Chain A
């Protein structure tokens, strides 16, 4: 299957700072990427759909000004957690849509964010 990477894999930051997480599709172009967050022992919750060259679509209840998404190229989407607080600590997972052939989503390995 196709490969999706995330960077960094782990990040610890102080409360009030901003953190950027990158999601890259390594061997295919992705016009659409998705961002999920996962709390311990819980399921993945879709935060937003990232569309190359246009604004992201946020799910209900997700603050667009706090979770900034940029999808500037066909292989890269970034999620910036602005003014992070301890309650933003979570596991953030991205996926990229590969619509060649069978139209499948491939998931990145996730980023563990800890806000002190």
Chain B
């Protein structure tokens, strides 16, 4: 069985500050890892994903995440927060490609303040 833990259901940062959203996973097989963003009353949009290869993954909107197997982590970062980044962020894991069943974390609500 796979699981995802997102530490911090709410994160607040100032505009221009570093964004760090934490994600730890549990998987019995090499994981495929994803970060999605959800704006109010909308579906999910893929930010980035890790499948194989380079452990530092760059995504859309300036976000990136690093797969650390030794720490079973896949934290999401962005150097400088923008007001438009305020949304709900979900980390997810799959035991196969992105087209397969996803197990989601409980989400982190990011608030960006002036």
Report which A residues bind B (CB closer than 8 A). Answer: 1, 4, 6, 32, 34, 42-46, 49, 91, 93, 95, 97-99, 102-110, 112
Asked if A103 and B99 sit within 8 Å, CB to CB, the answer is yes
Q: Which residues of chain B (64-79) have a CB below 8 Å from chain A?
A: none
CB distance from B106 to the nearest CB of A (A): 5
Asked if B105 and A43 sit within 8 Å, CB to CB, the answer is yes
Asked if B46 and A104 sit within 8 Å, CB to CB, the answer is yes
CB distance from B60 to the nearest CB of A (A): 10
Q: Can you list 30 pairs linking A and B with CB atoms under 8 Å apart?
A: A1-B46, A4-B43, A6-B43, A34-B101, A34-B102, A42-B106, A42-B107, A43-B90, A43-B104, A43-B105, A43-B107, A44-B90, A44-B104, A46-B101, A46-B102, A46-B103, A49-B101, A91-B41, A97-B100, A102-B97, A103-B98, A103-B99, A104-B46, A104-B98, A105-B46, A106-B46, A107-B45, A109-B41, A109-B43, A112-B41
- Chain B residues in 8 Å Cβ range of A108: 43
- Chain B residues in 8 Å Cβ range of A34: 101-102
Asked if B43 and A110 sit within 8 Å, CB to CB, the answer is yes
- Chain B residues in 8 Å Cβ range of A110: 41-43
- Chain B residues in 8 Å Cβ range of A93: 43-44
